[in-house]
Structure 1
Amino acid sequence: MSTPTGPAVVFDLDGTLVDSEPNYYEAGRRLLAAHGVDGFGWEEHSAFIGIGTRETLEVLRARYALDASLEDLLAEKNRIYLELARRSTAVFPEMRRFTGLLAAAGVPMAVASGSSRAAIEAVLAGTGLDSLFPVVVSAEEVPRGKPEPDVFLEAARRLGAAPADCVVVEDAPPGAAAARAAGMRCIAIPYVPSTADDAAFLAADLRFPGGQREFTAHAAGAWLLGGAGR
């Protein structure tokens, strides 16, 4: 491996590295249906993209007056999601190229996600990305989820990097806001097209308004390793 070049990079997982949102949507739909709530659609789900599973279920539990405890709902959704994730989770092709490029350059990398640790590990192992990320932080391991900066700050601590020397890669406004709150730079790749002009994304240091359709490993790598990401 070559001498490390550029800052440390902290990746969000869902919607950034992998297209797991369809699985999260289906897990949420099945969970709510099992508790008598029908008609949970993608539009409603998309409002929670970038927000942790616990925080999402807190809102849905109150919205639909669910009798089950939050912990039971978390366990049930995680079980459903893990079944789906192990079966099929797609890595965005340019993200696979980008992480490979950074690994070859010796750039320290971490994953910081609002998902459970079990879900993160299952997805990373199933996609073969696990070898690239020695540091993984779940929202379960910190006091507050995104848009608070806790997961990113913990990732920086475990990487041994100062927040100012980290760049976050994010697909959702709460994550971009968390990056800024952590004092980190941000590469924004909107998963939901309608959020491309969200204030949190407009404040990002590098933005791909067209999301994964526009993002390229070459462009992001040139920015990051060329010195702009420092």
Structure 2
Amino acid sequence: ITGQDIPHQFPVDYYPVIGNDLRACIAYYRERDPEMAAYGSVEQILAQAVAVKEEIYQELTSQGLEAFEGIRELVETAKARGLGVAIASSGRPEKIQHNLRSSGQDDLVPDELTVSAAYVKAGKPAPDVYLEALRRLSCSDASRVMVVEDAVHGIHAAKGAGCFAVGIPNTLPRDRLEPHADLVVDNAHELVQILLKQA
């Protein structure tokens, strides 16, 4: 991503960092590949990577994004049943808002219930982003909270916060999520059916 020819195998080399913020990704790879030290410190590589990544991302998403299947229905069903809904993401605040607008989902969750890893001390897999979301929801019992995640680090963060973690194989295959999640479903429609069956 920095324009350097660093040997890698995709997607295998990507699996360990899915769900991490960019700083954590760079630190992970730099620690495992001594040759990366030649490109500078984590902060130096991060600054270069952010600029390149942002340019590429804006280009790739200029025609809009497609939301994960069933997400709108899930959020609307949860809210109709009086449940609180928040977003807790490793992404920067600007990226989160861009994604929500580009996918037509920016009306689902208010800004004050949208938590970025930029707002907390540590990103996923640390539980901080979910703990902040719980605080904003005024939720004192994390065991009553269901988190929907598509990354192993996100699942670990959710469980670290005491929540019930549901994996959806959007980014990773089911077999990568199953050892970590409390439940894995194929899509959000399945979670809607679970909610509708609750008394």
What is the TM-score with the length of structure 1 in the denominator?
0.71
1:87-125 Cα offsets, whole Å, 9 max, x none, are 332212222332232244343211111111111110011
- Aligned residue among 19, 42, 51 for 1:50: 19
Q: Which residue of 2 aligns with 1:177?
A: 156
- Aligned residue among 134, 143, 149 for 2:121: 143
Q: How far apart are the structure 1 equivalents of 2:88 and 2:59? A: 22
* Partners of 2:147 and 2:164 within 8 A in 1: yes
Q: How far apart are the structure 2 equivalents of 1:106 and 1:197? A: 29
Structure-2 change in CA distance of 1:148 and 1:39 (3 Å) = closer
Q: How far apart are the structure 1 equivalents of 2:103 and 2:71? A: 12
Q: Which residue of 2 aligns with 1:75?
A: 50
Q: Structure 1 unaligned segments of length 5 or more: list them.
A: 1-30, 209-213
Q: Number of aligned pairs? A: 187
Residues 89-108 of structure 1: matches in 2 within 5 Å? 89-108=65-84
Q: How far apart are the structure 2 equivalents of 1:85 and 1:106? A: 33
Q: How far apart are the structure 2 equivalents of 1:74 and 1:139? A: 17
1:178-219 Cα offsets, whole Å, 9 max, x none, are 111101112222332240332x22xx1x322xxxxx3252x3
* Partners of 2:73 and 2:192 within 8 A in 1: no
Q: How far apart are the structure 2 equivalents of 1:39 and 1:181? A: 30
* Partners of 1:146 and 1:175 within 8 A in 2: yes
Residues 219-230 of structure 1: matches in 2 within 5 Å? 219-227=190-198
How far has the Cα of 1:70 moved from its partner? 4.0
Residues 1:195 and 2:152 aligned together = no
Aligned to 1:43, the other structure's residue is in SS state coil
- Aligned residue among 71, 75, 94 for 1:118: 94
Aligned to 1:147, the other structure's residue is in SS state coil
With CA pairs under 8 Å and 6+ residues apart, which has the higher RCO, 1 or 2?
Answer: 1
How far has the Cα of 1:74 moved from its partner? 4.7
Q: Percent identity?
A: 30
What is the TM-score with the length of structure 2 in the denominator?
0.80
